[in-house]
Amino acid sequence: MTAFVPVLQVISRNRHLGAEQLRENLNYAEGVSNRRRGQVQCASENSWLQRRRKRRSLEKRSETKVAVCGGGSFGTAIAFLLANNGYPVQILVRKTWVRDEINVERRNPKYFTEFVLPDNVTATIDAEEALTDAKLIVHAVPVQQSRSFFEANTEYFPADAPVLCTSKGLEVTSLKFMCELLPELLPRTKSFAYLSGPSFAREMMDQLPTAVVVASDDVDLALRIADMMSSPFFKVFTSSDTIGVEVAGAVKNVIAIAAGICEGLGLGTNSMAALVTRGCSEMRRLALNMGASPITLSGLSGVGDTFLTCFGPLSRNRNVGVRLGKGETLDSILSSSRQVAEGVTTAEALVGMLLNQYNGVSQQDNKEINVYATRAAARYPILFGVRAILEGRITPQEGVEALLAMPPREEN
C-alpha cells in the first residue's frame, strides 16, 4: 500500500481532495484488481515522468540567460519575475554603486529597496558582458533614451537573441514607435516582441495578479516569451498586432495625463468617465488608421492599460496631470520627479506625427498648415489639448473649456 501513497498524494494535490476522500482512495487502492494496479503503476510512472520533465525544464531555464537593459522600476520588476521563474537574469545598469548594491546586498538601491532580489539576479555596467550570451534581451530603457542606448551598444546584441521591448511611447526626433525604431537600430537582430498592458511594476513586485500581452510578428516567439514569463500571478496573452499594441501603449500615457488633469481640477466622475471614453476614441481612430485591429484596442494594451493609468494612483503620467491640474508648472513637476512619465514627450511626438499625417504639412504654405492643424486637432482634441497644456500655451482650465465648447456631433 505504501507504494501507492505518493501517487495518491499527487492525485490529492492536483484535485484538491479532502482528507476523507483521500482515505477512501487509500482503501480503494488497497483492494484494486491486478488490472487496476497496472493503472496505478502507470500513474506512478507518469508522475515520475512529470517530475523529470519539470526538473529538466528547470535545468534548461537555469541555463537560459536573460539580459535586462535598464535597471529602473520596470526593468527591476521584470528581472524579479523572470528570476523567480528560474532564469538567470543580468540587469544592465549605468552606475557602479547600483551594480554593487544589487550584486552584494541583493537589492536595487533606487527602486523597490525593500525587496530582496533572488540569487539568480546579477547586475553589470558592461553591455558586452550582459548581452553577449543572452538568450533573451528585455529592453526597459525609456523611449527617448533608447536610440542613444542602442547606438552605443548595437555591436553587443547577438543576432539570434530576440529583443522584448517594454518601453511605451513615440520618439520625438523621428516620430517613430518602438516597433519601427528597433529593427532600424538593431539591424542584425532577427526577431522582436513588444510587451504591453496594465502592469504597474510595484504590483508585479508584490506578486499581485497581473495580465499583459506580448505582440510579435513571430507567433512562436510570442508564445515562447509567454511561457517564460507566465507564473501563478502573471498571465501573458499573445498577439500578432504589433502596431496596435504599440500605438495603444503610447496613446494611453497621454490620456492618463488628461485624466490626471481632470482629477487635479476636481471635475468629478462624470467628466472623468467622459474624458477617458473620448480618449479611447482618439486612440482607436489613430490606431485603426495605422492598421491596428479593433480587438487590440478593446484588449489589455488598449482599454486595459488606459483604465489602469487613468484611474490607478500609481501612474506617473496620471500624477503629472494631477499636479498640472492643481496649478504646478511642468518644469517644477519634472524636476521633482525621479521617474519617467513617457506621456509628456509622447504628446509632443504624437501631435507632430498627426500634423504630418494630415497631409504632408511640411510641403504646404502657412495658411494650409493652419487648416490641416485645425482639422487634426478637431479629430484628436484630447491629444492636442494635452500637448498645448504641457507646452504652457493654454491652462488646464482652458483645455477643459475648449473641449466643452466643441460643437455637437455624432459619437464615433
Ligand X SMILES: NC(=O)C1=CN([C@@H]2O[C@H](COP(=O)(O)OP(=O)(O)OC[C@H]3O[C@@H](n4cnc5c(N)ncnc54)[C@H](O)[C@@H]3O)[C@@H](O)[C@H]2O)C=CC1
| Site for ligand 13P, residues 314 to 333, rule: CB under 6 A | 315-317
| Site for ligand 13P, residues 72 to 131, rule: CB under 6 A | none
Q: How far is the CB of 253 from ligand X (least distance, A)?
A: 7
Partner whose binding site includes residue 167, from ligand 13P, ligand X, none (CB under 5 to 8 Å by kind):
ligand X
User: How many residues touch ligand 13P (CB under 6 A)?
Assistant: 13
Q: How far is the CB of 230 from ligand 13P (least distance, A)?
A: 18
Partner whose binding site includes residue 80, from ligand X, ligand 13P, none (CB under 5 to 8 Å by kind):
none
CB 216 within 8 A of CB 192: yes
Angle at 329 between CA 324 and CA 331, to 5 degrees: 120
Contact between 306 and ligand 13P by CB under 6 A: the answer reads no
- In the bound state with ligand X, the residue whose beta carbon lies nearer, of 122 and 199, is 199
Which run of H or of E encompasses 406? none
| Site for ligand X, residues 173 to 202, rule: CB under 6 A | 199-201
Partner whose binding site includes residue 306, from ligand 13P, ligand X, none (CB under 5 to 8 Å by kind):
none
Residue type, 154: T
The CB density around residue 402, as the number of other CB atoms within 10 Å, is 15
Contact between 204 and ligand 13P by CB under 6 A: the answer reads no
The CB density around residue 126, as the number of other CB atoms within 10 Å, is 12
- In the bound state with ligand X, the residue whose beta carbon lies nearer, of 109 and 294, is 109
Q: Which of 29, 65, 71, 117 binds ligand X (CB under 6 A)?
A: 71
Q: What does the alpha-carbon distance between residue 343 and residue 383 come to, in Å, rounded to a whole number?
A: 10
Q: Which residues are catalytic?
A: 252
Helix axes 396-404, 381-391, angle to 10 degrees: 160
Angle at 158 between CA 157 and CA 159, to 5 degrees: 110
Helices (H), 113-217: 127-131, 143-153, 178-185, 201-205
Contact between 301 and ligand X by CB under 6 A: the answer reads no
From the DSSP assignment, how many helices (H) and strands (E) are in the chain? 20, 8
Whole-Å CA distances, 399 to 103, 211, 258, 278, 393: 48, 34, 10, 14, 10
- In the bound state with ligand 13P, the residue whose beta carbon lies nearer, of 243 and 308, is 308
- CB-based closest residue to ligand X: 72
Q: Which of 185, 225, 308, 386 binds ligand 13P (CB under 6 A)?
A: 308
Q: Mark the segment that binds ligand X (CB under 6 A) among 161-169, 325-333, 383-391, 396-404.
A: 161-169
Question: Which residue's entry shows cell 484494486?
Answer: 32
Q: What does the alpha-carbon distance between residue 1 and residue 29 come to, in Å, rounded to a whole number?
A: 7
User: How many residues touch ligand X (CB under 6 A)?
Assistant: 24
Nearest CA-CA partner of 79 in 190, 164, 176, 184:
164
Q: How far is the CB of 135 from ligand X (least distance, A)?
A: 21
Whole-Å CA distances, 39 to 4, 17, 31, 213: 11, 20, 13, 41
Burial (0-12, 13-18, 19+ Cβ within 10 Å), 196: buried
Residues 6 or more apart from 24 whose CB is under 8 A from it?
A: none
Nearest CA-CA partner of 89 in 112, 111, 118:
118
DSSP for residue 118? P
- In the bound state with ligand 13P, the residue whose beta carbon lies nearer, of 150 and 200, is 200
Contact between 226 and ligand X by CB under 6 A: the answer reads no
Q: How far is the CB of 257 from ligand 13P (least distance, A)?
A: 9
- In the bound state with ligand 13P, the residue whose beta carbon lies nearer, of 282 and 305, is 305
Q: Mark the segment that binds ligand 13P (CB under 6 A) among 13-21, 38-46, 181-189, 309-317.
A: 309-317
Partner whose binding site includes residue 256, from ligand X, ligand 13P, none (CB under 5 to 8 Å by kind):
ligand 13P
Partner whose binding site includes residue 308, from ligand X, ligand 13P, none (CB under 5 to 8 Å by kind):
ligand 13P
- In the bound state with ligand X, the residue whose beta carbon lies nearer, of 191 and 301, is 301
Q: How far is the CB of 133 from ligand X (least distance, A)?
A: 20
Contact between 305 and ligand 13P by CB under 6 A: the answer reads yes
Question: By the criterion CB under 6 A, which residues form the site for ligand X?
Answer: 70-75, 94, 140-143, 145, 148-149, 166-169, 199-201, 339-340, 342
Question: By the criterion CB under 6 A, which residues form the site for ligand 13P?
Answer: 168, 198-200, 253, 256, 305, 308-309, 315-317, 342
